[in-house]
Structure 1
Amino acid sequence: MDQFYMTTLSVSVLLISIIWYLKALRKSPPLPPGPRGLPILGYLPFLSKNLLHQFKDLRHKYGPIFKLYLGNKLWVVISSPSLVKEVVRDQDAVFANRDSPVAALVGTYGANDIAWSPHNTQWRAMRKIFVQEMMSSTSLKESYSLRKDEVRKTIRHVHIKMGKPIEIGELSFRTELKVVMNMLWGGIIEGEEGNRIGAEFRVLISKIVDLFGKPNVSDFFPVLAGLDIQGVKKQMENYMQSMDSIFNAVIAQHREKLSGGVKKEGNKDFLQILLELQGRQDSEVSISDKQIKAILMDIVAGGTDTTATTAEWAMAELINNPDALANAQKELSDVVGLNNIVEESHIPNLKYLKAVIKETLRLHPAIPLLVPRSPAQSSTVGGYTIPKNSTVFINVWSIQRDPSIWDNPNQFKPERFLDDNGKLDFKGNHFHYLPFGSGRRVCAGMPLAERMLIYLVASLVHSFEWKLPTEGETLDMSERFGIVLKKSTPLFAVPTIRIHDSNLYM
């Protein structure tokens, strides 16, 4: 009898467990909706060259959160402020990892940088050093002379080219690169050697950034990564071999001069800070040469291509909107004066020009899908399951053009940022406007980018009048999708004199 009762009890417990498990399965939130795709390949054959417009169509069909199977990868695209808040604020720690593509792994020395590194102790230490040592208000204030010198050189260059078409993106890129190089290693590399390194960087950076965002079979089918079918890994390795030789030479020269007693004691350049930290025995952070080069790579790539692209978009929007350009120039005349040249000290009073930059970044966010996140564990967003290790894109481009949020969203209207009394900033606290991201993965270089964007655009607009090369020409404002959102056709514009005191250009 006891045997019978024991058997009955065991069967009952088993049945109850099975029923409970099946109920638990039924209660588990479903995956987000999305197109079915094909067996094995998923939605890969249907991806278009411009994901932004394709994602816009998919959002209309499936809602503000949808999924795409791409080979062995699951992408989740989020396009509403409330869902963004769940990711970057409510579950920020869960979604703080990266799903690094092969190109990014190679291009950042194995994700040893700040942008692509996993969310771990080393990342927190590196970011802390970067933010406190290079991006602090004190550090940026002390390095103003570096930015001022390069912007003045740019203005002189434009003055010499008066009346001739100038490629604005290339001009901005060259300026940003020189500023970044000066902040990285100061006066250690100068003269012809500095010019040579700058020229090599200009050739490499755009190619590397474009490759970061190139769809790669190796990322969608990791089992095929060893074959490198598209040659993306090989290409990036070739580019990085050139970058590596530059970094090695700069670090070696820096070490040699520092060991010989050539060091700055006040405003140190960033490479000196890293090398000194590397040599300290009591340091809480152990920094390898590989990590130093990865961080340098972050700064050179992130501090040049994205900022220069945004400056180009800002100039294009101003030229395309003469009333906005006139308003910006009137403000500059009132604040700076036509007998003076722009200084960073003028920036706090340039309310309209700040609104121009904000509106430019609303319409043309530099990284329109942000750098993708990856949850460290399965989670729930908007009532849907987001599996562990999936790739999560925050569609900033879509959110910042959403007609339910923004009035006339496709119109360039800087005044919308004047009407908000300065509430909308770049810090990512407003989830319908986050061009630099939000949460612990917000862009670490934001303080420098903000200063340089306003300072450079203000200097170009104040010093010169600008027009298109051909009378009556229609400006092409179409976008070329990539990890960085660029103009389809580069902007060429012709400068004419606005400030007549030639001494101000010297």
Structure 2
Amino acid sequence: MAARTIVDFQNSSIFILLCLFSCLCYSFFFFKKRNSQGCDLPPSPPSLPIIGHLHLLLSPLNHKSFQKLSSKYGPLLYLRVFNVPIILVSSASIAYEIFKTQDVNVSTRNLPTNEGSLFFGSSGYATAPYGGYWKFIKKLITTKLFGPQALERSRGIRADEVNRFYLNLVDKATKKETVKIAEEAMKLITNSICKILMGKSFSEDGEKVRGLVSETGVMSKKFFLAAILRKPLAKLGISLFKKDLDSISRRYDEVFEKSILECEEHNQSSEMLAALLEACQGKTGEYKITRNHIKSLFVDILVAGTDTSTNAIQWTMAEILNNPKILERLREEIDSVTEKTRLIQETDLPNLPYLQAVVKEALRLHPSVPVVLRSFQEGCKFRGFDVLEKTALLINGYAIMRDPNIWEYPEEFKPDRFLLHSSRSFQEDIIKEEVLKYLPFGSGRRGCPGSNLAYLSVGTAVGVMVQCFDWKIEGDKVNMEEVPRTITSTMAHPLKCTPLLRNLNPFPSNV
């Protein structure tokens, strides 16, 4: 057997060139063209020989390049990367129809996984096919983590962390220190999720965990591309990013194994961890899982929950700081509810419709995951076109939520559009047209199960920063450019600003 080559790339141009060369060789020796003769496929933009539309997936900002592609060639397109078929959707009505008629069929992502890895591995929940294991875990995280009753039970944990977040900002303001919003938000979200997951936060390992999550976010797109190209490159003995993947997996394993052991020894497991350990030990009859399943699930939740919520908080604050009138209106609403005597709480959010509208509008313009990934498990007929089995489905939520045909002034930050009582046309649009125009968390069975927690976390964090501090930024406006070549939507220039206390006497603790 030929020696297996492990390749690690820091330079994306080297990655592209090697992919092209390697897969060119593969196509001559191993390529078997998928039978699409006689099929009426959706429209397809011009492609390159052999590699098809691979160059489009390698663009710096996929969601924006896909948006331009769809505006030129149509909202339903057929793409091909070597012999991998892809359907690209950029229409709210088409997305609605897919999730209405093909939801079960597209409830699997069908990505090749890396055996033994906790991230992007075969034990993961995010990569698991739609079936018994996935349904068992989905039920568990709904009842123990993200459902209404579970969120009610864990409210005290989040209130405690929000108070820590507030007092830390007070300390920074007193010392007149500049704050990196993403760093402070990451601490808040990571501590909250870890306490809910395991009943404890990462004390001495906190910085290590946050570093791991950030590193994972940067590597996600590379891992995604490596997964797509894994089979053809494996024929040539090439394994992309194996060293990086093994390193991240090993470090996650060390942190979670240590924390799980501590919880077991001190009998301090959370509801979620206790239920998972029972299933691991065979004490529940629903589904037998392994310890790696537990750790992989924790990695998935931590990566999906912290990075996305952190980005949402940062984007929301950036939009608020760029719109002083919105900032003033938010403060008036919060002050009227709290009467300037206490810190904002989660229970206040239902009485703060404008704050909720601001968060939703920020997620519309800056969805944490701009492109939703699914896979057609079976071939089907859709809108008169043939869709082959195992076809990847990409739904460009970024393009849909900026579509001028369904959003008025789509490029502008206008939270009022989400105040239904003040927008009769918005209500009429919902009634007269079946569309899926707002999908920052995906949709269908595979939609993000943590959306309710995300709204609570982002809403309270932003509420605290607006209620309690003035913010001094460099320049007149916050730079809103995005980081290229990532799966999530991240600010290219992290938001840095100096907090100034609005009230010299800190509010008492909520806990």
TM range (shorter): 0.7 to 0.9
Cross-structure match for 2:106? 95
1:228 & 1:165 partners in 2: Cα distance?
49
CA distance in 1, matches of 2:123, 2:256: 15
1:464-475 matched pairs, under 5 angstroms:
464-468=469-473, 470=474, 472-475=475-478
Residues 1:306 and 1:101: Cα distance change in structure 2 (over 3 Å):
farther
- 1:244 and 1:226, CA in 2 relative to 1: closer, same or farther beyond 3 A? farther
Cα deviation, residue 281, structure 1: 3.4
Q: Does 1:434 align with 2:447?
A: no
TM-fit CA distance, 1:374: 0.7
The answer to whether the 8 A contact 1:218-1:228 is kept is: no
- Mapping of 1:12-27 within 5 angstroms? none
* 1:454-486 deviation line (CA, Å, top 9, x unaligned): 111111111111131x3x433211222421111
Structure 2 residues without counterparts, runs of 5 or longer: 1-35, 428-433
- C-alpha RMSD of the superposition: 2.4
Alignment pair present for 1:203 and 2:211: yes
The answer to whether structure 1 residue 311 and structure 2 residue 316 are counterparts is no
Q: 2:106–2:376: 8 Å Cα contact kept in structure 1?
A: yes
Distance (Å, rounded) in 2 between the aligned partners of 1:454 and 1:496: 20
Q: Are 2:41 and 1:31 equivalent residues in the alignment?
A: yes
User: Does the aligned pair in 1 maintain the 2:119–2:245 contact within 8 Å?
Assistant: no
- Partner of 1:486, secondary structure, is coil
1:225 correspondence with 2:230: no
Give the structure 1 partner of residue 299 of structure 2. 297
Work out which of the residue numbers 461, 465, 469 in structure 2 matches 1:456.
461
Give the 3 Å change call, closer, same or farther, for CA 227–350 of structure 1 in structure 2.
farther
- After alignment, is 228-237 or 152-161 more displaced? 228-237
- How many residues are treated as equivalent by the alignment? 462
Question: Secondary structure at the residue paired with 2:498?
Answer: strand
Match of 2:11 in 1: none
- CA distance in 1 between counterparts of 2:304 and 2:289 reads 21
Relative to 1, partners in 2 of residues 1:454 and 1:36: Cα closer, same or farther, differing over 3 Å?
Answer: same
**What is the one-letter code of the residue matched to 1:177?**
T
Contact persistence 1:114–1:123 (CA under 8 A): yes
- Aligned mates of 1:90, 1:67 — CA distance in 2: 19
Judged with a 3 Å threshold, the aligned counterparts in structure 2 of structure 1 residues 104 and 37 are, in CA distance, closer, same or farther, namely farther
Residue 180 of structure 2 corresponds to residue 167 of structure 1: yes
1:50 CA displacement: 1.4
Alignment correspondent of 2:370: 368
**1:484 and 2:495 matched:** no
Contact 2:113 2:120 (C-alpha < 8 Å) held by counterparts = no
When Rg is computed on C-alpha atoms for both structures, the one with the higher figure is 1
Q: How far off its partner does 1:229 sit?
A: 4.9
Separation in structure 2 between the aligned mates of residue 388 and residue 401 of structure 1, nearest angstrom: 30
Query: Alpha carbons of 1:414 and 1:60: their partners in 2 closer, same or farther (altered >3 Å)?
Result: same
Query: Structure 2 counterpart of 1:387, which letter?
Result: L
Percent identity at matched positions?
A: 31
Q: 1:216, CA displacement in angstroms?
A: 2.9
Point out the more displaced range, 488-497 or 48-57: 48-57
CA distance in 2, matches of 1:323, 1:459: 18
Q: CA deviation at 1:234?
A: 2.1
Q: In structure 2, the residue corresponding to 1:195 is in which secondary structure?
A: coil
Cα distance, 1:39 vs. partner?
2.1
CA pair 341-197 structure 1, distance change in 2 beyond 3 A: same
1:385 aligns with 2:386: yes
Structure 2 partner of 1:153: 164
Normalised by the length of structure 1, the TM-score is 0.86
Partner-residue secondary structure (3-state), 1:74:
strand
- The Cα shift of 1:302 comes to 1.3
The answer on 1:58 being equivalent to 2:75 is no
Change (3 A) 1:407 1:175: same
The one-letter amino acid of 1:138's match is Q
Q: Deviations over 1:224-283 (max 9, x none)?
A: 1366757423211111110011111122222233xxxx357xxx4421221133335342
SS in 2 for 1:496: strand
The alignment status of 1:183 with 2:196, answered yes or no, reads yes
C-alpha distance in 1 between matches for 2:205 and 2:149: 28
Q: Provide the rounded CA distance (Å) in 2 between the counterparts of 1:227 and 1:325.
A: 56
Structure 1 residue aligned with 2:30:
none
Structure 2 CA distance for partners of 1:503 and 1:345, relative to 1, 3 Å? closer
1: CA distance, partners of 2:147 / 2:226 = 40
TM-score w.r.t. the length of structure 2 is 0.85
- Residue of structure 1 in register with 2:123 after alignment: 112
CA distance in 1, matches of 2:226, 2:172: 45
**In structure 2, the residue corresponding to 1:342 is in which secondary structure?**
coil
Deviations 1:123-165 (A, max 9, x none): 1111111111221222211211111111111111111111322
User: Partner residue of 1:498?
Assistant: 502
- Rounded to whole Å, the distance in 2 between the matches of 1:460 and 1:220 is 44
Rounded to whole Å, the distance in 2 between the matches of 1:368 and 1:489 is 19
1:117 aligned partner, one-letter code = A
Tell me, yes or no, if the aligned pair for 1:103 and 1:232 is still in contact at 8 Å.
Answer: no
Give the 4+ runs in structure 1 shifted more than 6 A.
421-424
In the alignment, the residues of structure 1 paired with residue 179 and residue 239 of structure 2 have an alpha-carbon distance, to the nearest angstrom, of 35
Aligned pairs (5 A) from 1:268-287: 268-287=270-289
Q: Give 5+ residue unaligned stretches, structure 1.
A: 1-24
The alpha carbon displacement at 1:221 in A equals 5.6
* Distance 1:91-1:218 versus aligned 2 partners, 3 A rule: closer
Q: Look up the match of 1:394.
A: 395
1:44 aligns with 2:46: no
Decide whether the 8 Å contact of 1:339 with 1:499 is kept in 2. no
CA distance in structure 1 between the partners assigned to 2:114 and 2:308 by the alignment: 18
The equivalent residue for 1:3 is none
Query: Which of 327, 330, 335 pairs up with 1:328?
Result: 330
Give 1:29 shift: 5.3
Secondary structure at the counterpart of residue 178 of structure 1: helix
Corresponding residue for 2:92?
81
Which residue of 2 is the match for residue 7 of structure 1?
A: none
